[in-house]
Amino acid sequence: MTHPTVAEPWVAGPLRRLMDDARLISGVLLYPTGKAVGQFGFSSAADVMSVCALTSAINASARELGRQLDGKPFLEMHHAGVDRQVFMARCAAGPHELLFVGVFDRESSFGVVEIYFEEFQKAIEKLSPATEVRGKGPSGDFEGELNRSLDALFGPLGK
Amino acid sequence: MKGAFAEIVTTLSHLPGVVAAMIVGASDGLIVETSPMKGAASGGADSRKHTAALAAYLYSKVTRASDAARLGTPAFMRLEAERGQICVVGARDVVLVTIVTTDANLGRVRLDMMKAARDKP
């Protein structure tokens, strides 16, 4: 199992614990804008870029769908495939909203992932995001933010 | 089906020493039906969700260990802790989970859990 790589060091500990406890195969923590904060289980920046873009889009769609159907955004999403399952949920570090998407198989279960994600949410909340979160608000430069965060996770491309 | 599950947890939860009885999805670890937690403070942390998920997970691992040892499917799993016990019985797509006190009549709990698993719709 690979260690998480992080663009913002304050998430390294909680992300590692979540990965180990919930027995996740891979996962990405990101801002809703698509900027990656940390990841594990991926070896390619292109894969993380795809996950970030898709997660960001799915979150926006699911949030709006939740508002229309239930009057409030959905909190989490789970898709059970034949061999692998995807879990997607939100968490907050102070005023900053974050998204997490994780993949697991039969070595874990949705219930187990849910309870350890709750612990992850509490751990993230306890951190001091006011001083530790270096993320700025959305700049509107989706591609630029995504590329900068991927550079932080995997190193600059072509160097 | 939901009514039958409710009846099972009600019956099991009324056994002496049973603190809570639950029916949990075997593959996802989510609670299908549960009794209230006896003695739990109102508004206090509810550990049933955690217990259900981890007990189902543990039971799946015990099943693999039992298979590896060529013992077949486990009939009854009991986890003994300092202040009580957790009992688990598999029933195809669900597992029955009870949280019991140390002084509970385990023979009766075991018998009724296995009967419930056998008769489960």
pLDDT in tens, B10-21: 999 999 999 999
Taking the CA atoms of A122, A25, A100 and B93 in sequence, report the sign of the dihedral they define: negative
CB contact, 8 Å: B27 with chain A? yes
In a domain, A14, yes or no: yes
Contact A110, B28 (CB under 8 A): yes
Tens of pLDDT, residues B47-104? 899 999 999 999 999 999 999 999 999 999 999 999 999 999 999 999 999 999 999 9
In a domain, A95, yes or no: yes
Find chain A residues with C-beta within 8 A of B54's C-beta.
Answer: 112, 115
CA distance A134 to chain B (A): 33
Domains of chain B are 2-38+45-119 (3.30.450.30)
Q: What is the largest CA-CA distance in chain A?
A: 48
Distances (CA, A) of B58 to A100, B23, B54: 25, 15, 6
Tell me, what's the ipTM? 0.80
In a domain, A147, yes or no: no
Can you give the pLDDT of all 159 residues of chain A as single tens digits?
A: 578 999 888 899 999 999 999 999 999 999 998 999 999 999 899 999 999 999 999 999 998 998 898 888 888 899 999 899 999 999 998 888 999 999 999 999 999 999 999 999 999 988 755 554 455 455 566 667 677 777 777 776 544
What per-residue confidence (pLDDT) applies to B14?
95
CA nearest to A132, candidates A7, A15, A8, A6: A8
In a domain, A80, yes or no: yes
In a domain, A50, yes or no: yes
What per-residue confidence (pLDDT) applies to B42?
61
What per-residue confidence (pLDDT) applies to B56?
96
In a domain, A140, yes or no: no
What per-residue confidence (pLDDT) applies to A142?
63
Find chain A residues with C-beta within 8 A of B27's C-beta.
Answer: 106, 109
What per-residue confidence (pLDDT) applies to B23?
97
Residue in A with minimal Cα distance to B61: A107
In a domain, A154, yes or no: no
Provide the residue range defining the domain that includes A119: 10-130
CA distance A101 to chain B (A): 17
Contact A93, A129 (CB under 8 A): yes
Cross-chain CB nearest to B27 (options A109, A114, A115): A109
CATH number, domain containing residue A126:
3.30.450.30
What per-residue confidence (pLDDT) applies to A91?
93
Strands A36-40 and B18-25: unpaired
With an 8 Å Cβ cutoff, the interface of chain A facing chain B consists of: 80, 106, 108-112, 114-115
What the block records as the tokens of B76 is 């009854």
What the block records as the tokens of B21 is 């009885």
**Edge to edge, what strands does the sheet with B84-91 contain?**
B31-34, B18-25, B94-100, B84-91, B77-81
Residue in A with minimal Cα distance to B27: A109
What per-residue confidence (pLDDT) applies to B86?
97
What the block records as the tokens of A43 is 């070896």
The answer to whether the CB atoms of B54 and A112 lie below 8 A apart is yes
Please provide the DSSP assignment of A112-133 as one string.
HHHHHHHHHHHHHHHS-HHHH-
What per-residue confidence (pLDDT) applies to A159?
44
What the block records as the tokens of B75 is 């009939």
Cross-chain CB nearest to B53 (options A80, A106, A112): A112
What per-residue confidence (pLDDT) applies to A152?
73
Which residue pairs, CB below 8 angstroms and at least 24 apart, start in A85-91? A85/A110, A87/A113, A87/A114, A87/A117, A88/A55, A88/A58, A88/A59, A89/A117, A90/A59, A91/A117, A91/A120, A91/A121, A91/A124, A91/A125
Question: Structural domain tally of chain A?
Answer: 1
